[in-house]
Amino acid sequence: MSEKDVRVMEEFFESFANGDIAGCMSRMHEDCVLVESGGLPHSGTYVGAQGFLELVTKIGELFSTATLTDCTVHDAGEFVVARMTGHFTSRANGLTVSQPVTEHYWLTDGRISRADVYYKNPKEFDALVPTSR
Question: What is the per-residue pLDDT for 59?
Answer: 95
Q: Nearest CA to 10 among 127, 99, 117, 107?
A: 107
Question: What is the per-residue pLDDT for 96?
Answer: 97
Give the confidence band of 71 by pLDDT, cuts at 50, 70, 90: very high
Contact 102, 81 (CB under 8 A): yes
pLDDT digit string (tens) for 3-32? 999 999 999 999 999 999 999 999 999 999
Cβ contacts of residue 32 below 8 Å, gap of 6+?
Answer: 47, 48, 49, 51, 52, 111, 112, 113, 114, 115
Question: What is the per-residue pLDDT for 128?
Answer: 92
pTM above 0.85, yes or no: yes
Question: What is the per-residue pLDDT for 131?
Answer: 62
Question: What is the per-residue pLDDT for 100?
Answer: 98
Question: What is the per-residue pLDDT for 8?
Answer: 97
Average pLDDT over residues 59-65: 96
